[in-house]
Amino acid sequence: MTGIDTEVEEVEKMFAVNVFGPMRMVRHFHPMLIKAQGKIVNIGSVGGIVPYVYGSSYNASKAALHHWGNTLRVEMKPLGVDVVNIISGEVSTNILKRDRDHKRQLPGTSFYRPLANEFSKHITRTPPLENMLGTWLRK
């Protein structure tokens, strides 16, 4: 969804999963991570580095995770904990399936309404096989 058409509550849900979830995990488990000299692995996205259209909330959440992870890497290094941000491209997930199932579309009042067909194509597409990390990993 476009940035100006997205309800703030939807953005909050996205951040709850993509940013605050990992933060809570690290906050809770950091004593064990430090004791074990472990690793923190964040699953990011190229969308957090290079924004794409119709993904403003997702892009922002992954950018926040990416920058938090970079800062955490500096903070945790003296404690013997490595922090890794995995930056994936497009992968095969159900993220677009929910949009298709709910027949998500631009609001009738959207300034982007002239792009409604393009938006519909975007959320109903299947990522190309060469972009699907999951497909590659199954080989």
Active site residue 62: yes
The catalytic residue among 13, 35, 52, 62 is 62
Gap between the Cα atoms of 132 and 139, Å rounded: 12
Sign, Cα dihedral of 85, 91, 92, 94 = positive
3-class SS at 81?
A: coil
Q: φ and ψ at 52, to 5 degrees?
A: -125, 155
Q: Name the maximum alpha-carbon separation found in the chain.
A: 56
Q: Cα angle at 65 between 62 and 66, to 5 degrees?
A: 85
From first CA to last CA, the distance across the chain in angstroms is 33
The catalytic residue among 58, 77, 121, 139 is 58
Active site residue 13: no
Active site residues: 58, 62
